[in-house]
Amino acid sequence: MPLVEITKPAYDVEFFIAYATPQNFTGKAVYSRPGCYLHPDAAACLMKAIDLARALGLRFKVFDAFRPSEAQWVLWNHTPDPDFLADPRRGSPHSMGAAVDLTLIDGSGRELDMGTAFDEFTPRSHHGVLDISAEAHRNRAILLGLMTSAGWDFYRNEWWHYQLFSPRGRYDVLSDNVLPQSMMLTP
């Protein structure tokens, strides 16, 4: 099944596809362009979450969605930490188009305080951590509530990561070649 491109205005979200920039934990761009794709099942859940957030005067900023399996290897080879990255031999929900990394933004486009930055690979990024502000706890709880109400599961170590339930075995791991235009940097 082809992936759905997540674009405006169909999806009322902002984008900062971090791996298309050097502003990510590797310090270099992994993607050649900032594409945002999801499996149709995940795209439908994202649309539900968008509608729920809109009712609260909030929107989403997407950091990553479909991550070609080649990109998962780049990330894993840089930082092989199974607490924060899926081993590509096992398959990442991102590489199935079944996961999205995002945060909440207010009406002016300002990111809500979540206590850590996206991709901060520390225990402070875990759900339920105690050493973040009350405001960050509240914002994480709102994000969690919106996403789980829209049909997403969460990953306990990353406040920004949401995926479809039990994606392994339900969705195929996909390579960059499934896209109409490559996202991967050529070596």
Q: What is the pLDDT of residue 185?
A: 84
- Paired with 158 in beta bridges are 155
Q: Is 111 a catalytic residue?
A: no
pLDDT(1) > 80: no
pLDDT(186) > 90: no
148: pLDDT confidence band, cut at 50, 70 and 90? very high
The dihedral over CA atoms of 123, 50, 108, 25, expressed in degrees to the nearest 10, equals 30
Of 5, 14, 120, 158, the catalytic one is: 158
Q: What is the pLDDT of residue 96?
A: 98
Domain-wise residue ranges, the chain: 4-178
- What angle separates helix 40-54 from helix 134-149, to the nearest 10 degrees? 130
- CATH 3.40.50.1240 for domain 4-178, yes or no, is no
Q: What is the pLDDT of residue 25?
A: 96
CA distance 122 to 185: 28
